[in-house]
Structure 1
Amino acid sequence: MVAGYLELLAYAVEPAGPWDSEAVAHSHFAAGLALALAVVTALLSWVFVKAEWLCRWWLAVPAALALGAIVRLTFLAPDL
């Protein structure tokens, strides 16, 4: 949930103009932190899937969050 919230914040931030580099930096920070949390969540999910406590489809949630964060950091990054 935290990674999803950070990703939502990263997508919600738009710079007010060409001078607003702080908003761009905050967007990159939120997306990077969401990506890191998605990787940690994926690793924990993998452990629980290997222990057969969770089904395989639980790996799709952190994968989708990681994909969304990567897209925000690369293709949909806010420009100045």
Structure 2
Amino acid sequence: MTDVREGRRAGASEWVGAAVCAVVLAVGHLVTGYLLLVAYTTEPDGSWDRQAVTNSGFAAGFGLALAVVTVLLTLWFVRAQWLRAWWYAIPTVLAVAAVLRLTLLAPVL
């Protein structure tokens, strides 16, 4: 495969680098998605259940932190031209979901 921008053929090391980056980001996205799933499925049992609200907020906050880490990793990998720019979409959606759970969709007592 010829790289149009530089006029050279992509070597095996570039393919391996792209695959490693994709796996690292995929694992990060899966962990973030799991934390957000926990945050969205945790609802208080009643007006006395403050622990569920705390757990949901912690899961959403930690998910937001991981989304920021994956955005920074994506920035690094895209700038190194190992991955394409569409990889920004996944952590952006996860970060928006985390912010929504922390603000507008937070569980209430």
Partner Cα separation in structure 2 for residue 67 and residue 39 of structure 1:
11
Q: String of CA shifts for 1:10-65, please: whole Å, max 9, x gaps.
A: 00001000000000000000000000000000000000000111010001110010
User: Which runs of 4 or more aligned residues in structure 1 lie more than 4 Å from their structure 2 counterparts after TM superposition?
Assistant: none
Gaps of 5+ in 1: none
Match of 2:31 in 1: 2
Match of 2:63 in 1: 34
> Which is greater in Rg?
2
Higher relative contact order (CA 8 A, sep 6+): 1
Secondary structure of residue in 2 paired with 1:16: coil
- Residue 9 of structure 1: how far off its partner (Å): 0.3
- Residue 79 of structure 1: how far off its partner (Å): 0.2
Q: Percent identity?
A: 59
Equivalent of 1:20 in 39, 46, 49: 49
Partner Cα separation in structure 1 for residue 97 and residue 86 of structure 2:
17
Secondary structure of residue in 2 paired with 1:17: coil
Question: How many residue pairs align between the two structures?
Answer: 80
Partner Cα separation in structure 2 for residue 23 and residue 41 of structure 1:
27
Q: If the length of structure 2 is used for normalisation, what is the TM-score?
A: 0.73
Gaps of 5+ in 2: 1-29
Partner Cα separation in structure 2 for residue 43 and residue 25 of structure 1:
27
Q: If the length of structure 1 is used for normalisation, what is the TM-score?
A: 0.99
